[in-house]
């Protein structure tokens, strides 16, 4: 038995158990996001322009940007500068959209963009979650099918 066990309040408790749990949950969340095999980004819902606050390594590989190149940059101007109505895409969240996104090398990628929301403990929207699925192969297959149908229909 230790001295702290003899104190009126029992054994000494950690100074901030809620903080320790929060940090543990945060580390777990970051590890889960980093392990995702598809491009993922978080954007600040409270700041003007919805700047990117996090990207995983799949995002870096798919879009060609290093994380430090995109942090703090607005999502729309970085990835969807030519997309009509892109500025309004957050209004319908949660939503899945077929979009054309711009990569670092200025090439474009057909993606399915899933937008989700993160709310703080007080219920206020704090972040947007953007998950990307590459739809380029599907688009190429649709085009091949269109060409083959045209060939088959020719006399």
Q: What is the pLDDT of residues 3-23, one digit of tens each?
A: 444 545 555 555 577 767 666
- CA distance linking residue 67 with residue 101, whole number of Å: 17
* Straight-line distance from the first to the last Cα atom of the chain, in angstroms, rounded to the nearest whole number: 95
Confidence grade of residue 75 (pLDDT, cut at 50, 70, 90): very high
Quick check: helix, strand or coil at residue 109?
strand
- CA distance linking residue 112 with residue 128, whole number of Å: 16
- CA distance linking residue 87 with residue 48, whole number of Å: 12
Domains and CATH numbers, the chain: 16-153 (3.30.450.20)
DSSP-derived letter for residue 79 is H
Q: What is the pLDDT of residues 30-46, one digit of tens each?
A: 777 777 788 999 999 99
Quick check: helix, strand or coil at residue 123?
coil
Average pLDDT, the chain: 85
Q: Are strands 108-119 and 95-102 parallel, antiparallel or unpaired?
A: antiparallel
- CA distance linking residue 51 with residue 44, whole number of Å: 6
Contact 127, 87 (CB under 8 A): no
Quick check: helix, strand or coil at residue 125?
strand
């Amino acid at each position: 038995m230790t001295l702290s066990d003899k104190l009126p309040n029992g054994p000494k408790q950690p100074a901030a158990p809620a903080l320790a749990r929060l940090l543990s949950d945060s580390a777990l969340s970051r590890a889960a996001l980093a392990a995702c095999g598809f491009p993922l980004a978080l954007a600040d819902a409270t700041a003007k322009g919805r700047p990117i606050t996090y990207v995983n390594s799949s995002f870096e590989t798919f879009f060609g940007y290093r994380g430090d190149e995109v942090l703090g940059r607005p999502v729309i101007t970085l990835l969807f500068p030519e997309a009509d109505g892109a500025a309004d895409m957050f209004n319908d969240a949660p939503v899945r959209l077929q979009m054309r996104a711009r990569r670092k090398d200025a090439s474009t990628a057909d993606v399915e963009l899933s937008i989700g929301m993160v709310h703080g403990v007080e219920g206020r929207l704090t972040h947007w979650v953007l998950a990307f699925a590459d739809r380029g192969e599907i688009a190429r297959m649709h085009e091949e099918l269109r060409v083959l149908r045209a060939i088959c229909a020719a006399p």
